[in-house]
Structure 1
Amino acid sequence: MDLSERFEWEGRRIAWGRAGSGPAVVFCHGTPFSSALWKPFADALSRDFTVYLWDMPGYGQSSKHEGHPVDFGTQAEAFAALMAHWQLDRPHVIAHDFGGAVSLRAHLFGRLNYSSLMLVDVVAIPPSGSPFFQFVHDNPELLGQLPAYIHEAIVRSYISNASHQGLRDDTLDELAEPWTGEVGQPAFYRQIAEYDEQFLHENEKRLDNLTIPVRVVWGTQDSWIPPEIAHRLHALITESTLALVPDAGHLIHYDEPAALMDEIRAWLDIQRVN
């Protein structure tokens, strides 16, 4: 499944793709990733669902213009505009990392309607951010001037650290590539610099307003966002259920893909019955 389509929004170019037929399922990625980590799952589901992938502005194949904000609020607005472009009402949404905060904000503040929401190792409530993330947040301009080979080594090491079992070289290449070169390198530090935890505090205050079915899925070995956050998030969302996946880190997609696919398929099947 390729992101062959483009949507123009407020000077940004959003890359997206669609495949299959049936009920709509929309995937949201996080940082420092792209829709690439959802592609195998979207491909598998396209037999029974219409699946949508997109790269947030500032990520993956979407535009990375300096001066275009990439914070949670902006991404939620972009998501709402894209949903309107797709003419979708009440799709199933599956989100990872800060795609969780974006999809939650679009629903809680932008009033986007979902049939269900699956939150996979998400950035959703405070606190968040690894020590490296916090260091970059405090020193974005300094790190943006690093020699390209040092920057690439840092990005590859950072992404690798999100996996508990380790990543294949080709997988790491695919995830790191958007953050290299004259456009990718400054974009990597810029999106971290614009991170604002206030959006998470605002989301947290409204979680008890959620009335849609929510499934929280978490890797037990997630060192970026520990399972304690999953338990807190589950407790804050009345209409939620929780699943912990053994031997999986933050990149559960690569650590335990079969277990994650089972979770997704079972969840969507339950929603179809209900």
Structure 2
Amino acid sequence: MASVQVGGVEVAYARAGHGPPLVLVHGAGADGRMWQPQLDDLKDEFTVVAWDEPGAGRSSDLPAGFSLEDFAHCLAAVIEALRLGPAHVAGLSWGGTVVLELYRHRPELVRTMILADTYAGWKGSLPPEEVAARVEGAERMLAAPGGRFDPTLPGLFAGDPPAEFVPLLDAMADDVRPQTMGAELFMMAGADERDLLPAITVPTLLLWGELDVRSPLSVARAFQDAVANSELVVLPGVGHVSNLEAPERFNHAVRRFCRARA
């Protein structure tokens, strides 16, 4: 795995394939390994890059005071260092919030956006009581002995996690850094990016699991109403981590969308 130095932060990434650039941004409690089914399948047509965000995977720890804007600037630096822009940029869950922040600050690097099971920040997409409950639950989980993120957290999948990916989920959970999770929770709870949505002009794919209870379809509909040039694709019978629960259908939707806008 290669890396890019952004200030004092080392940002690792995996790269595969050739063709139009497709940059993948993972969710919280994960790292770039969550995109393995996409790297394997889409590399035949695209240059696929999956980063490990600062504080995750093989990237260095989060510096003190790191912000959502800092995540976006690091993502921009990866795209620029690899000379990929403008790129198709996809983010799932927390990763979609980072992608939105990238678009806010560096829209010229974004050819299209793929927002999967995501939020305009928790504050921007969920009722206040739900945000408070999530923060409380996550803080309790991280404060428990071992402080380990639970990759089978209720709501991440429509049913049980796909058996073939359980070892991967466990491996990523073992590597979660409590400092990173705590910082992301604080950012997600306070982030409200609804003001940005009407200003998005690039083609945007909204890719959602029908049974996602973490970011329900009502959130997807709000995105669709606010983003003028958007298309909603719903994956039947699928939960929040849609790229692992239904990788073939997820990849097909991404491939079709990006191919039409290469």
| TM-score between both structures, scaled by the size of structure 1 | 0.84
Counterpart of 1:35 (choices 13, 32, 35) is 32
* Alpha-carbon offset, residue 96 of structure 1: 0.7
Task: Structure 1 unaligned segments of length 5 or more: list them.
Answer: none
Contact 2:162 / 2:245 at 8 angstroms: preserved in 1? no
The residue aligned with 2:125 is 127
| Identity across the alignment (%) | 21
Task: Please give the per-residue CA displacement for 1:18-39, whole angstroms capped at 9, x wherever unaligned.
Answer: 1211111111111122222212
Counterpart of 1:199 (choices 191, 194, 201) is 191
* Alpha-carbon offset, residue 91 of structure 1: 1.0
Q: Does 2:256 align with 1:261?
A: no
Q: Does 2:92 align with 1:96?
A: yes
Contact 2:239 / 2:245 at 8 angstroms: preserved in 1? yes
Contact 2:12 / 2:58 at 8 angstroms: preserved in 1? yes
Contact 2:28 / 2:93 at 8 angstroms: preserved in 1? yes
Task: Structure 2 unaligned segments of length 5 or more: list them.
Answer: none
The residue aligned with 1:26 is 23
Q: Distance in 1 between matches of 2:214 and 2:131?
A: 6
Matches within 5 A, 1:7-18: 7-18=4-15
* Alpha-carbon offset, residue 174 of structure 1: 2.2
* Alpha-carbon offset, residue 169 of structure 1: 5.2
* Alpha-carbon offset, residue 271 of structure 1: 1.2
Task: Please give the per-residue CA displacement for 1:217-260, whole angstroms capped at 9, x wherever unaligned.
Answer: 11110011110000001100001111111100001122222211
Matches within 5 A, 1:43-54: 43-54=40-51
In angstroms, what is the RMSD of aligned CA positions? 2.4
Task: Please give the per-residue CA displacement for 1:167-201, whole angstroms capped at 9, x wherever unaligned.
Answer: 145623323434437xx45335423443244432x
Counterpart of 2:81 (choices 74, 82, 85) is 85
Matches within 5 A, 1:1-274: 4-65=1-62, 67=64, 69=66, 71-125=67-121, 126-128=124-126, 133-136=134-137, 139=139, 144-148=142-146, 151-152=147-148, 155-158=150-153, 161-168=155-162, 171-180=165-174, 184-187=176-179, 189-200=181-192, 203-272=193-262
Task: Please give the per-residue CA displacement for 1:130-183, whole angstroms capped at 9, x wherever unaligned.
Answer: 66631156x4xx7655322xx34x62442x6401132145623323434437xx
Task: Please give the per-residue CA displacement for 1:102-149, whole angstroms capped at 9, x wherever unaligned.
Answer: 111111223343221111111225134666631156x4xx7655322x
> Match of 1:31, SS?
coil
Are residues 193 and 113 of structure 1, via their aligned partners in 2, closer, same or farther at CA, if it must alter by over 3 Å? Answer: closer
Are residues 245 and 131 of structure 1, via their aligned partners in 2, closer, same or farther at CA, if it must alter by over 3 Å? Answer: farther
| TM-score between both structures, scaled by the size of structure 2 | 0.87
Amino acid at match of 2:145: P
Q: Distance in 1 between matches of 2:63 and 2:133?
A: 23
Q: How many residues of Structure 1 are paired with residues of Structure 2 in the alignment? A: 257
> Match of 2:187, SS?
coil
> Match of 1:250, SS?
coil
Contact 1:220 / 1:247 at 8 angstroms: preserved in 2? yes
Q: Which moved more, 1:229-238 or 1:167-176?
A: 167-176
Contact 2:94 / 2:188 at 8 angstroms: preserved in 1? no
Q: Distance in 2 between matches of 1:239 and 1:157?
A: 34
Amino acid at match of 2:259: D
Are residues 120 and 189 of structure 1, via their aligned partners in 2, closer, same or farther at CA, if it must alter by over 3 Å? Answer: closer
Are residues 165 and 85 of structure 1, via their aligned partners in 2, closer, same or farther at CA, if it must alter by over 3 Å? Answer: same
Q: Pick 1 or 2: higher relative contact order, CA cutoff 8 A, min separation 6.
A: 2
